[in-house]
């Protein structure tokens, strides 16, 4: 298999090293692989494309040639054979003694895997719920530390960083918080399904973090934000991610109701209610 793709992104063959349950709805999967030394990222909300095997396959099926034409080759494979492609965020990376990337963590929000779930799980959620050491995946990730799949880019004059998201955005938001320098003011609203999904956040920023627990009847982020005082709106930098409809509502609130300059708002729909990632990609 040829795995080189022109910088700044390339393919990495990875294996699961271990998994750890972070809460009822979140699982951390740690990966390693022989070519991970070429993986470079500044972190924050670094997004990645994961290629996962279907049940019964020992590894993800992708075209033999993963050069520039990989997308077309992957599309031409039968639907039920070609690897499932899904977007995730780099939660953390660790270096070896030589300073090269040795392991990466990805945190998966599990949905639809609990008995009696209203919406059945998608393939990525199902895969993550059962992931075990030795499982093989393919990753399309950065070979260049500063790359366009990092969207969190506060302007230099930012007075307050505002982060809002649901459980799919918790990995990115917590990685962003860890990266903020001491003294940065941050206001954060994170929605999670269960109280057990609340994470400890290590940050040097002056961060006020509000966890909104859906099963405990917390308000939705847009309502919680609407009710809050926000200092220094003119110099706010707002980052929003999660379910597309709720992200759009939050953006309307910040731009339309609070008057935040739209250029200071970064927003990304991470998933859309009722649509698989393939359907979302096709719709876009
Ligand atoms: C840039 C980017 C970064 C992302 N980072 C992360 C991350 O770090 N961690 C993470 O967990 N997710 C992340 N996501 C979201 C993740 O890609 C989607 O949730 C994805 O749809 C999951 O794939 P699936 O195969 O489980 O479900 P799909 O097959 O895509 O969808 C099946 C059904 O489940 C619904 N669904 C999808 N996700 C959820 C959910 N979370 N809760 C409830 N219903 C859902 C869909 O609407 C659909 O009806 C990210 C997305 C993007 C675009």
**How confident is residue 114, by pLDDT bands cut at 50, 70 and 90?**
confident
pLDDT above 50: residue 259: yes
Residue identifier of the C-alpha nearest atom 10 of ligand 1: 168
| pTM for the model | 0.96
* Centroid of ligand 1 to alpha carbon of 235 (angstroms): 31
Architecture of domain 160-271: 3-Layer(aba) Sandwich (3.40)
* Centroid of ligand 1 to alpha carbon of 125 (angstroms): 8
* Centroid of ligand 1 to alpha carbon of 127 (angstroms): 12
pLDDT above 80: residue 4: no
Residue identifier of the C-alpha nearest atom 18 of ligand 1: 271
Kindly state the average pLDDT of the residues 248-268. 97
Q: What letter would DSSP give residue 115?
A: T
* Centroid of ligand 1 to alpha carbon of 269 (angstroms): 10
Distance (Å, whole) CA 180 – CA 166:
20
Strand, helix or coil at 167? helix
Mean pLDDT of the chain: 95
Residue identifier of the C-alpha nearest atom 30 of ligand 1: 276
Atom of ligand 1 nearest to the CA of 126: 26
Query: Which of 149, 168, 267 is the pocket-test mutation for ligand 1 (most atoms within 8 Å of CB)?
Result: 168
pLDDT above 90: residue 131: yes
* Centroid of ligand 1 to alpha carbon of 244 (angstroms): 11
Q: Which residues pair with 84 in a beta bridge?
A: 52
Please report, to the nearest 10 degrees, the dihedral formed by the alpha carbons of residues 230, 228, 88, 22 taken in order.
120
Of 12-16, 117-121, 150-154, minimum mean pLDDT range = 117-121
134, 18 Cβ separation under 8 angstroms? no
Distance of CA 87 to the CA centre of its chain: 7
243, 273 Cβ separation under 8 angstroms? yes
- Domain 9-142 coded CATH 2.40.30.10: yes
Q: Which residues of 229-266 are buried (b: 16+ CB within 10 A; e: fewer)?
A: eeeebebbbbbbbbbbebbebbbebbbeeeebeeebbb
Each residue's pLDDT tens digit, 165-210: 999 999 999 999 999 999 999 999 999 999 999 999 999 999 999 9
Atom of ligand 1 nearest to the CA of 128: 26
Domain ranges, ordered by start, for the chain:
9-142, 160-271
Greatest pairwise CA separation for the chain in angstroms: 55
Residues with a CB atom less than 6 Å from ligand 1: 47, 86-89, 107-109, 111-112, 119, 122-125, 168, 171, 268, 270-277
Atom of ligand 1 nearest to the CA of 272: 47
Each residue's pLDDT tens digit, 44-90: 999 999 999 999 999 999 988 888 889 999 999 999 999 999 999 99
25, 111 Cβ separation under 8 angstroms? yes
Distance (Å, whole) CA 144 – CA 255:
33
Residue identifier of the C-alpha nearest atom 42 of ligand 1: 111
129, 21 Cβ separation under 8 angstroms? no
Q: What is the pLDDT of residue 243?
A: 98
Q: What is the pLDDT of residue 119?
A: 84
Q: What is the pLDDT of residue 5?
A: 45
* Centroid of ligand 1 to alpha carbon of 271 (angstroms): 5
Residue identifier of the C-alpha nearest atom 31 of ligand 1: 276
Q: Which residues pair with 65 in a beta bridge?
A: 2
């Amino acid at each position: 298999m040829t795995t080189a793709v022109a910088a700044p992104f390339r393919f990495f063959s990875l294996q699961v090293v271990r998994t750890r349950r972070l809460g009822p709805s979140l699982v951390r999967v740690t990966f390693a692989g022989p070519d991970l030394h070429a993986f470079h990222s500044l972190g924050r909300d670094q997004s990645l494309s994961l290629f996962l095997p279907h049940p019964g396959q020992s590894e993800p099926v992708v075209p033999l040639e993963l050069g520039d034409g990989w997308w077309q080759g992957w599309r031409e494979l039968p639907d039920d054979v070609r690897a499932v492609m899904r977007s995730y965020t780099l939660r953390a990376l660790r270096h070896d003694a030589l300073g090269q990337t040795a392991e990466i963590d990805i945190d998966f929000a599990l949905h639809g895997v609990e008995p009696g779930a209203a919406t059945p799980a998608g393939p990525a959620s199902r895969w993550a719920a059962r992931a075990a050491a030795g499982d093989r995946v393919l990753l399309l990730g950065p070979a260049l530390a500063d790359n366009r799949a990092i969207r969190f880019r506060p302007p230099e004059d930012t007075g307050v960083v505002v982060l809002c998201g649901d459980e799919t955005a918790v990995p990115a938001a917590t990685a962003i918080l860890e990266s903020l320098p001491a003294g940065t003011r941050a206001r954060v609203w994170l929605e999670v399904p269960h109280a057990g999904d609340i994470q400890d956040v290590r940050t040097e920023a002056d961060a006020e973090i509000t966890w909104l627990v859906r099963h405990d009847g917390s308000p939705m982020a847009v309502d919680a934000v609407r009710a809050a005082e926000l200092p220094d709106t003119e110099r706010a930098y707002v980052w929003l991610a999660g379910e597309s409809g709720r992200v759009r509502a939050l953006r309307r609130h910040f731009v339309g109701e609070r008057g935040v300059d739209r250029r200071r708002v970064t927003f990304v729909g991470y998933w859309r209610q009722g649509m698989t990632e393939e359907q979302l990609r096709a719709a876009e």
